[in-house]
Structure 1
Amino acid sequence: MNKNSKIYIAGHRGMVGSAVWRALEARGYSNLIGKTSSELDLRNQQSVKDFMNTERPDLIIDAAARVGGILANNENPYPFLMENLQIQNNLIDAAHKTDVKKFIFLGSSCIYPKYAPQPLKEEYLLTDSLEPTNEWYAIAKIAGVKACQAIRKQYGKDFVSLMPTNLYGPNDNFDLQSSHVLPAMLRKFHEAKENENTAVELWGSGTPMREFLHVDDMAQAVLFAVENVLPEYLYNVGTGTDVTIKELAETIQGIVGHKGEIIWDSSKPDGTPRKLMDSSRLQNLGWKPAFDLKSGIENTYNWFKAHQENYKKIKM
């Protein structure tokens, strides 16, 4: 890719897509394309075909997806499976048929089996059963990884998949019905602090361990993939360190300044016991994360406070 290459970022207004856009702009890429869902419905195959035939991008970065936490996945299995399949399949197939030079597919660590050995290596894909609370989303993302791998294998095209660990940062979703654990906690602690430090109730036991990556670090990984031909079809993207959910809650509580009680509702599901990723495959090629967890949460909390009236919400 050169700085004038035409680059289409699917999902450019989402947390990941907007971070990727910022990173590419900062690097000097000047020919970026973004379409809102009202301008281009990625679930509509014909619309995607027409768009691709008209625009003919050199590179596609697929950051578009229907996403959410345990609650959203559990209560809406069909759209989490079908809409994600539609979005990615339409983009991947149209990219192949219009001879797009490079395709970067973004997924999630939930593609790996629930009880896979830790840390998670790329070769653990499809070796055991998935976490039931988000298997619908995971199955869709696995299909996307395999579609890109198949095109790479059969046609020799530069289609690559990046699987990030749990992401957070500016433009995250803070809607309590559909958000992931870190932004949900941030909002809960903030609102409890504003409400005279009332108690905060959190799901599960607090014992599961999770790894978190700031979205700007993810954007740098995408930029690395844009500017290099990666030899493998699949790469994990993470920090290599994890914390318990209880430790995460206490870190957020301290950053927010909440002084009240934390109540753990053990009747609610914990999800996968641990999801630490082995990101050495990508890191050995030269990419490294810049944010530690505390500074990343501080950055995100400052963004949250500045944008409280503009929470990103997902319609169910």
Structure 2
Amino acid sequence: MTNEVSYNPTKLDRASTFYIAGHRGLVGSAIWRKLRSDGFTNLVGRSSSELDLKNRNEVYSFFAETKPRYVVLAAAKVGGILANNSYPVDFLSDNLRIQVNVMDAAREYGVERLLFLGSSCIYPKFAEQPIREDSLLTGHLEPTNDAYAIAKIAGIMQVQAVRRQYGLPWISAMPTNLYGPGDNFSPEGSHVLPALIRRYDEAAEAGEACVTNWGTGSPLREFLHVDDMADACLHLLENYDGPSQVNVGTGSDISIKELASMVASAVGYAGKIEWDVTKPDGTPRKLLDVSKLSEAGWKASIDLQEGIRSTVAWYRANRDGIRS
């Protein structure tokens, strides 16, 4: 085992091969757009039908063929409370296999810089707010998504192990709740913001008098537009090197009740809003401490209200062809 080496991140070579795992997902597609607009000319992506990241042999063959210099690992099995609570085995097993296969192959074939993307659900359910990076592994997880969280924690540990054993300057970033173009708007698999957009848009179109949401509406959540997330990823790759995961968020939060009202206004729904308190709320609050990210020289720029309005417009323009 070798010691951690010092490394000063520099501007990435725009002509080098850059693999975005999960390039058709919410985060991966935003990163693809960001890299393309920033001058990267050799981006590589494969759909799940072209490359099964759970298949180790396929992943190794892909890396042997393409030999990427840089990798962003944005591929994952993701979903909201209902999906996570209903299929914990899938969320644990699928994500572990994806991460291990991609990172092992990346190390084997000499990937210079890798960014692993996790989730704020890695932190304890009752972590001190705002949540610092050093809160990791200090308490119990939220039980409705603990399997997914454990998989993502394992990914952070693998990045840290690679840094210690091989001296590679790989890093991890933990985004808060993301939203924007390319999101999953399905009733069963979506997160709270796209679920609300679809629910209220359909209610407005149907002229429904009342919309009922899960829980009490009291939990506080932080939301980051996915284009901001993509910008932060490139910034971290070029400006940060350290073993600790980096929180990526806005540094401010909003109640689900406030969010619901904001979405209703954005879609033009004027009916009644009710809450089914027999359904779970999930974690009471999840606000990330973004001090480390700020110290690295980055902050969010897309306002939540404007971000919701633009996402509603994208959803309406694309709803016939998006995941449903």
- Normalised-by-shorter TM-score class: over 0.9
Following TM superposition, the consecutive aligned residue runs of length 4 or more in structure 1 with deviations greater than 4 angstroms are none
Q: Flag structure 1 segments of 5+ consecutive residues without an equivalent.
A: none
1:233 partnered with 2:247: no
Which residue in 2 is equivalent to 1:208?
Answer: 219
| Contact 2:22–2:45 (CA under 8 A) maintained in structure 1 | yes
| Cα-to-partner distance string for 1:68-93 (whole Å, 9 max, x where unaligned) | 00000001111100000010110011
Answering whether residue 83 of structure 2 is matched by residue 72 of structure 1, we say yes
CA distance in 2, matches of 1:300, 1:75: 28
- Structure 1 residue matching 2:170: 3-state secondary structure: strand
- Give the aligned partner of residue 19 of structure 1: 30
User: Is the CA contact 2:177–2:221 (under 8 Å) kept in the aligned structure 1?
Assistant: yes
CA deviation vs aligned residue, 1:87-117 (integer Å, no higher than 9, x gap): 0110011111111101100010000000000
Question: In the aligned structure 2, how far is the partner of 1:133 from the partner of 1:44?
Answer: 27
Instruction: For 1:76-115, list aligned pairs within 5 A.
Output: 76-115=87-126
Pairwise CA distance, 1:229: 4.1
Q: Report the counterpart of residue 4 of structure 2 in structure 1.
A: none
Percent identity of equivalent pairs: 54
1:118-157 matched pairs, under 5 angstroms: 118-157=129-168
| Structure 1 residue 232: Cα displacement | 4.2
Give the equivalent residue in structure 1 for 2:253. Answer: 242
Q: Distance in 1 between matches of 2:238 and 2:126?
A: 34
**Larger CA deviation: 228-237 vs 71-80:** 228-237
Work out whether 1:48 is the aligned partner of 2:59: yes
Tell me which amino acid in the other structure corresponds to 1:308: R
* Cα offsets for 1:2-50 (capped at 9, x unmatched): 1101100000001100000000000000000000111100000111011
Between the aligned partners of 1:268 and 1:176, the Cα distance in structure 2 is 15
Q: Quick check: 2:133–2:244 contact (8 Å CA) kept in 1?
A: no
Contact 1:152/1:233 (CA < 8 Å) preserved in 2?
no
Identify the residue that residue 292 of structure 1 maps to in structure 2: 303
SS at match of 1:201: strand
Residues 213-259 of structure 1 show CA distances to partners (whole Å, capped at 9, x for unaligned) of: 00000000111123234234310000000001000001111111101
1:301 to 284, 309, 312: 312
Say if 2:321 is the partner of 1:310.
yes
Structure-1 separation of matches of 2:244 and 2:317: 39
Structure 2 counterparts to residues 152-301 of structure 1, below 5 A: 152-301=163-312
Scaled by the length of structure 1, what TM-score is found?
Answer: 0.97
Specify the SS of the correspondent of 1:61: strand
- Paired letter, 2:81: I
Residue 133 of structure 1: SS of its match in structure 2?
helix
| Residue pair 1:158, 1:229 contacting (<8 A) in 2 also | no
Cα deviation, residue 311, structure 1: 2.2
**1:159–1:233: 8 Å Cα contact kept in structure 2?**
no
Q: Could you say if the C-alpha distance between residues 229 and 211 of structure 1 is closer, same or farther in structure 2, counting changes exceeding 3 Å?
A: closer
Amino acid at match of 2:218: T
- 2:199 corresponds to which letter in structure 1? K
Distance in 2 (alpha carbons) for counterparts of 1:165 and 1:303: 21
Amino acid at match of 1:157: L
Question: What letter is aligned with 1:129?
Answer: H
Is contact 1:71–1:177 with CA below 8 Å preserved after alignment? yes
Q: Does 2:43 match 1:32?
A: yes
Secondary structure of 2:195's match?
helix
Unaligned runs of 5+ in 2: 1-11
- Give the distance between the partners of 1:146 and 1:163, measured in 2 at CA: 13
For 1:216 and 1:58, locate their aligned partners in 2 and report how far apart those are by CA, in whole Å.
23
Separation in 2 of the partners of 1:20 and 1:56? 19
Tell me which moved more, 278-287 or 56-65. 278-287
CA distance in structure 2 between the aligned counterparts of 1:3 and 1:233, rounded to whole angstroms: 26
Query: By how many angstroms is 1:292 displaced?
Result: 1.3
Separation (CA, whole Å) in 1 of partners of 2:175 and 2:194: 17
CA distance in 2, matches of 1:175, 1:36: 20
Q: Cα RMSD between the aligned structures?
A: 0.9
User: Which residue matches 1:7?
Assistant: 18
Q: Which shifted more, 162-171 or 287-296?
A: 287-296
* Separation in 2, partners of 1:45, 1:154: 22
Tell me the number of residue pairs that the alignment of Structure 1 and Structure 2 aligns: 313
> Where does residue 60 of structure 1 map in the other structure?
71
